[in-house]
Copies of this chain bind each other. A is one copy, B any other.
Amino acid sequence: MTDLAVMAAGIKLENPLILASGILDENGYTMRRVLQEGAAAVVTKSIGTAERPGYKTPVVVDLPDGNLLNAVGLSNPGIKDFGGEIRIALEANKPVIGSIFGSSPEEYGELAHSMQLYGAAAVELNLSCPHVNGTGLEMGSDPEMVEAIVNAVKNRVSIPVLAKLSPNVSNMLEIAYSCSKANSIVVINTIKGMAIDINARKPVLSNYYGGLSGKAVKYVGLRYVYEIKKETGFDVIGVGGISNAEDVVEYMMAGASAVQIGTAVGRYGRGIFSAISHDLALLAERLKVDRISDLKGAAL
């Protein structure tokens, strides 16, 4: 039987499959269930300092072919009220990675510190939300700011730090280099996009613009994983459009140490984690490797 265990960002995972931030991860009971049903780890919804309702509905557009557009708008209860959810999630005895967003290095540092106190196994810096002003992508496209945030967080916490980057930039590689102190780089967040309803003659999302995710963005994610791994050699976690075992292997061959799954969880249900684990073991046999981690970087 194939060994599915991997090391990613210095964390040992029982399989390479992590729940991506923003999908089924604002309620502690849901995270607990996703872990119990087969995810190796979960990343929480991105949490900020203060409570935010996010945007009005519609906040998602269900697109054809396994794609999705969303502008949830970083709704979250605020860090103070999130400890309880993490506590519930931790009952599954698997790593919970706390995702955070802020508007200054200090704020990221504070949020990360709270996540560490809550028992998070690592902290993921959302430097890439494409549809909220004053955070996310706005900070994440400036390499100096990114470096300042990563360093501030590294100084504040002892748990691994993951930097989640955006594909909506001209200079991804430069930004990746500015994360040299991070334990891993997570790519990609969603690609900025929009959907229009021709009967209503209106953009569908209440925020007009949102982020594209799902099957189609896999090819963009693969490119970033490959390019960043090849050029920087940093640990990279792949995310974007993964919905089956082949996709996972493609990302691992491109250099990812583990992957995150978002949109496909909505599409195929929480059972996708155990289903992919099962298929991954068979696929590894077909590819004649004993350990899934042997495939890491095979296409580099």
List chain A positions with a Cβ less than 8 A from chain B. 63-67, 69, 141, 167-171, 191-196, 198-199, 201-203, 208-209, 212, 215-217, 219-220, 222-223, 226-227, 246, 249-250, 253-254, 283, 287, 298-299
Contacts and interface: CB of A to CB of B under 8 A. Distances in A.
Contact of A194 (B168, B201, B222): B222
8 closest A-B pairs (Cβ-Cβ)?
A216-B216, A193-B219, A194-B223, A65-B65, A141-B170, A196-B250, A201-B298, A169-B170
Contacts of A67: 216, 219
Contact of A226 (B168, B169, B208): B208
A146 to B, nearest CB: 12
Contacts of A250: 195-196, 198
Contacts of A65: 64-66, 215-216
A254 B198 CA distance: 10
Contacts of A215: 64-65, 216
Contact of A192 (B208, B209, B220): B220
Contacts of A63: 219
User: How many copies of the chain does the oligomer comprise?
Assistant: 2
A219 B202 CA distance: 14
A69 B221 CA distance: 13
A5 to B, nearest CB: 20
A222 B198 contact: no
B222 A195 contact: yes
Contacts of A253: 196, 198, 201
A216 B213 CA distance: 10
Given A169-B170, A201-B253, A215-B216, 14 more contacts: A64-B65, A65-B65, A167-B191, A170-B170, A191-B191, A191-B220, A193-B220, A195-B219, A198-B250, A198-B283, A201-B298, A209-B227, A212-B220, A216-B216
A231 B65 CA distance: 31
Nearest to A241: B216
A290 to B, nearest CB: 16
Most buried by B among A196, A209, A222, A249: A196
